[in-house]
Structures are given as C-alpha cells and as structure tokens.
Amino acid sequence: MTIHDWPIDERPREKLLARGPAALSDAELLALFLGSGFGGRDAVQTARDLLQAHGPLRVLLDRPASELTRLPGLGPARSCALAAGLELAHRYLAAELQQGDCVGENPSAVGRYLQHRLRGQAREVFMALFLDNRHRLLACEELFQGTINAAPVYPREVVRRALLHNAAAVILSHNHPSGDPEPSAADTRITRELQQALAMVDVRLLDHFVVGEGRPVSFAERGLLPKPSARPHG
C-alpha cells in the first residue's frame, strides 16, 4: 500500500494544503522532502525509520549533508534538498535582522536567529552583532571558535571589531555544545570584562545570549548585565 492509496485527508501533501504545515508530524514533514520510500516502504515509513534510528529530528538534521548521504533512504539529491531547506530557514530568520533594522527592539528575533545559527554546533562558537547608535544591525560575525566546552575570548579583538564597524552597541552570543544554556561563572566573568572593555570606547553591551537546548538565556533578561561604571573625566 502506497501513500496514494491512503485516504486523501491523511496524505502529507494534502494535509499540509488543507491544514497547514504545523498539522504534520516530523515524519510527515520529512517524507515530503524524501518524495518516495526506500526498501519497499513508503515515504512516511522511511522517514519514521530514519527518525527512530538517527533522530530525533534536530539530531538528524544537524548532520552535514555529506553524512546524510550515507543514511538509508537518503542519498545526494535528498540530502542536498534537506541541507538547502535548512539554509532557507537560516536565511529567513536572518532576514528579520537585515542591516538597517532596529535589532534592539526585537530581542525575540535576535534570540531565534542566534539559536538557529549556534545550536547544534559541535564546538563552542562566540559571535557578535554590531549595531549603530539606533541599534540597527551593522554586521554579524563569528569571532572565536573553541573546543566542546570552551572558546578563547579576547576582549581586545572584540573592541577592535566594534571600532572597525564604528559600532555604538554590541550583542554577544555563544553556544554550549552540552545543551545546557545556563551561564557559567566563566561566562559571567568574561561578559563583565567585555562590558568594561567596550565601555572604554563608548560602546554599549546590550545583551549576551547563551544558546543550548530550549530557549536561549539572555543576560539582560536575567539582570546579569550591571550598569557600567562611570568613566573618569580629565
């Protein structure tokens, strides 16, 4: 029995058209990318097999396309389609942070973008969003990469990049490959060091997001960004 033999309202494509993509299960969504089954199984069952053996969904899709090609039921064409779909999602989220938009007024969009960008990275990655004096996005850069549990962060380099972009404010982010987004003592310490270093060149640190499983943790939301000390004059 193939999917074409199913009742119309149970077929993934027809269900999506009638009820929207949110009505589909992970396996049904994946089946739409597969298009057909493998080894005598229909596309939905093939998708279920993939998720059971190599999932859940995010774990499966975090694999590079070159690795996906080796899984049963995939191959170069389907793996490339999945990788392209993820990149489309990445660019869609990035479009919410287009240069010229006021990023400071949309922390939810910032969190979603950083989560999509950093979650699932095998190593710790530290990045920064550089903003103008109206908190519009100037640039987004990955500054440092490290090991599975740490990335070296150099305040002087962060300041240098902020000055290069003529930034008035910065939003920082890094991921925890362990999946736990709770800030560590080291995270808090380096954030304060960066805040002080940026303040010396009149650049404000607006927030620091830690990305893991679930919702990113915002330093600003947690009240972990103290007001910078006043600079001495004269």
Polymer length in residues for the chain: 234
pLDDT value at 154 more than 70: yes
**Among candidate residues 76, 92, 108, the one where a domain is terminated:** 92
**Most confident listed range (33-42, 48-57, 202-211):** 202-211
The arithmetic mean of pLDDT across residues 137-150, rounded, is 81
- Single-letter code of the amino acid located at 198: L
**Mean pLDDT across the chain:** 85
Least confident of 3-7, 55-59, 123-127, 190-194: 3-7
Q: What is the pLDDT of residue 130?
A: 93
pLDDT digit string, tens, across residues 72-104: 888 899 899 888 988 888 777 776 666 555 676
Distance between CA atoms of residues 139 and 146, nearest Å: 22
pLDDT for residue 25 is more than 70:
yes
> Comparing 83 with 5, which gets the higher pLDDT?
83
pLDDT of residue 96: 67
What pTM did the predictor assign? 0.68
What is the pLDDT at residue 234?
40
Average pLDDT over residues 119-129: 86
Assigned domain for 228 exists: no
- What is the CATH number for 201? 3.40.140.10
The answer to whether residues 77 and 113 belong to one domain is no
Evaluate if residue 1 carries a pLDDT over 70: no
Domain count, the chain: 2
pLDDT surpasses 70 at 105: no
> Does residue 120 sit in the same domain as residue 157?
yes
Residues 128 and 208 in one domain: yes
In a domain? residue 230: no
Final residue belonging to a domain, choices 92, 113, 138:
92
Does one domain contain both 87 and 103?
no
Which residue is listed with tokens 């493998």?
Answer: 38
Domain boundary pick from 41, 62, 92: 92
The answer to which of 71-80, 82-91, 105-114, 130-139 has the lowest mean pLDDT is 105-114
> Looking at residues 139-167, what average pLDDT do you find?
87
pLDDT greater than 60 at residue 195:
yes
Task: Please tell me the predicted confidence (pLDDT) of residue 148.
Answer: 65
Most confident of 4-18, 36-50, 139-153: 36-50
Whether residue 158 is contained in a domain is answered as: yes
Domain holding 116, by residue range, is 99-222
Q: Are 193 and 134 members of one domain?
A: yes
